[in-house]
Structure formats: C-alpha cells, structure tokens
Amino acid sequence: MASVLVVEDDQFVRSALIRHLTDAAHAVRSVGTALEALREVAHLRFDVVILDLGLPDLDGAEALKMLRGITDVPVIIATARDDEAEIVRLLNAGADDYLTKPFSVEHLSARIAAVLRRARAGGRDAPPETVLRVGGLTVDPLRRQAELDGRRLDLTRREFDLLAFLAARPGVVVPRKELLAEVWQQSYGDDQTIDVHLSWLRRKLGETAARPRYLHTLRGVGVKLEPPAADAPRGPGAEPPR
Ligand code: CA
C-alpha cells in the first residue's frame, strides 16, 4: 500500500483513478490544480505523485519544477501527448516515469510498484558499491555521481541507474528485457521507455546512436557499454559499422 497523490483536473479520469487505486489498497488524495498539489506535498508525505500535464493553472513542466523545489517524492507524469521531446524534457527535469493516456490500470499499478521499489532500494539500506571505471567514464554508485574524462555528468536518477547498471558489466550486451527488469523493475516490454532514456544519456555522453562511443545499441538484441576503441580519433575510419 502506498499513499498516492493524484493531480488531475478531469473529473472523470480523476474518479476512475481514485477508484482503481483505492481498489488496489492505496491511500489516495486528489486535487485538480498544480497549486493545490504544491500545498498537499508541502503538508503531507506521499509515496508517489501522479501528475497530469494538462492542468488549468500551471504548465506541466512548471508544476514539476515547483514540486521538485519542495519534495523529492517520486513523480509519474500522465500525458495525453505522445511527444518524445517533451517526455524527455520532463524526465530530465525530475520526473521518475511517465504514462501516455489512455493507460490501463495494470500499467499504472506496475509503474507505481516500480517507482516505489526504486525509491526504497535507493534508500539508506542500499549496500555500498565500488566505483566503476570504463575508459574515461567513472561511475560512483554510492555517491550517485558519474564523470566523463573528469567532467561531472548531470544525470537524472534513471539515467544514472541505467549507466551504472551497464558500467557494472562493460562489454556485455544487456538484453532490453533485462534492462527493463533490472533498471525499471518491470517485467513487460516498453522499448520506448528505454529508447528515451538511452537517447538522453547518449547526448550527455556527447555521442549519437549513429556515432556511438560508449553506448552501443544492437538492434533487436540489446545495449552494451564499452570503452571507445583505443579512444581513437573520431574520423570516418573510426566509425563502427551500423
Ligand atoms: Ca488535464
């Protein structure tokens, strides 16, 4: 059971969410505006917030920013627009996950469970781990910091988890299914979730899918992280086959 804050202005969607979450034994509070949501999180402790992006008072990104200013409660974005750039921006701005409307109850429940597991696993009971090094990349799971060639990388929580998971098994192709299970703690497939985070992580590593250095996607197989070949000059000859 979790305490859930539903931020949704559509009365129909809101009622349905409350009913389903209550049926799933969660304690639910709900509000219809971003400002009410801010007031709620300032006064009460929630395990997770489900934030509709189309609210009457504040733009979704703005609402998320203000939420993040006062709480680090996990936030699942609910959006009607399947806009990858916008979703990536929000994940980068501190959202923990997202759902595209219309979503199923099962889907929502799975996301909530995953977010809660992650929040708990990231708590003080997490075992200490050693610093991982792959080429010029350094990943410190304990401090949750990563550097590339001595430069600190500004990663979201999920980007860091993804990078740390791959850095712990350099050169090994990790199947997408395993990434979903281990990093997202989901047992069903949603390749877009992985792709969104991978593309954003790539940008922060200063590389692209077409010209990978550390992150290599093997279509239909999985993803691997490995040091760039001899850190070679990145001329045309250094480009790996697609
Ligand atoms: Ca709305």
DSSP output for the chain: --EEEEE---HHHHHHHHHHHHHTT-EEEEESSHHHHHHHHHHS--SEEEEESB-SSSBHHHHHHHHHHH----EEEEES---HHHHHHHHHTT--EEEESS--HHHHHHHHHHHHHHHHHTSTTSPP-PPEEETTEEEETTTTEEEETTEEP---HHHHHHHHHHHTSTTPPEEHHHHHHHTS--SS--HHHHHHHHHHHHHHTT--SSS-SSEEEETTTEEEE---GGG---SGGGPPP-
**pLDDT attached to residue 103:** 84
**pLDDT attached to residue 50:** 96
Average pLDDT, the chain: 85
**pLDDT attached to residue 106:** 83
**pLDDT attached to residue 189:** 63
pLDDT tens readout for residues 185-203: 777 766 788 888 999 999 9
Instruction: Using the mean position of ligand 1's atoms as its centre, give its distance from the Cα of residue 196 in Å.
Output: 23
Instruction: Using the mean position of ligand 1's atoms as its centre, give its distance from the Cα of residue 202 in Å.
Output: 32
Mean pLDDT of 106-114: 86
In terms of pLDDT, which residue wins out, 215 or 122? Answer: 215
Instruction: Using the mean position of ligand 1's atoms as its centre, give its distance from the Cα of residue 46 in Å.
Output: 21
Share of the chain above pLDDT 70, in %: 90
Mean pLDDT of 4-23: 93
Q: From CA 75, how far away is CA 90, in angstroms rounded?
A: 10
Instruction: Using the mean position of ligand 1's atoms as its centre, give its distance from the Cα of residue 67 in Å.
Output: 17
Question: At residue 127, does pLDDT exceed 70?
Answer: no
Predicted TM-score (pTM) of this structure: 0.54
Neighbours of 66 (CB within 10 A): 16
Chain centroid to Cα 174, Å, comes to 18
CB 31 within 8 A of CB 52: no
**pLDDT attached to residue 237:** 44
Instruction: Using the mean position of ligand 1's atoms as its centre, give its distance from the Cα of residue 75 in Å.
Output: 16
Instruction: Tell me which residue has tokens 């971003």.
Output: 34
Q: From CA 45, how far away is CA 79, in angstroms rounded?
A: 24
**pLDDT attached to residue 128:** 46
**pLDDT attached to residue 21:** 92
Instruction: Using the mean position of ligand 1's atoms as its centre, give its distance from the Cα of residue 222 in Å.
Output: 36
Mean pLDDT of 147-152: 95
Instruction: Using the mean position of ligand 1's atoms as its centre, give its distance from the Cα of residue 239 in Å.
Output: 46
Map out the domains of the chain with their CATH numbers. 3-125 (3.40.50.2300), 132-225 (1.10.10.10)
Q: Which long-range contacts (CB under 8 A, 24 or more apart) does 105-111 make?
A: 105/20, 105/24, 108/17, 108/20, 108/21, 108/50, 108/76, 109/20, 109/24, 110/186, 110/188, 111/76, 111/186
Mean pLDDT of 156-175: 89
Question: At residue 234, does pLDDT exceed 80?
Answer: no
CB 146 within 8 A of CB 158: no
Structure token digits, residue 110: 């799975």
Mean pLDDT of 59-85: 86
Query: For residue 195, with 0-12 CB atoms within 10 Å meaning exposed, 13-18 middle and 19 or more buried, which class applies?
Result: middle
Instruction: Using the mean position of ligand 1's atoms as its centre, give its distance from the Cα of residue 210 in Å.
Output: 37
**pLDDT attached to residue 193:** 82
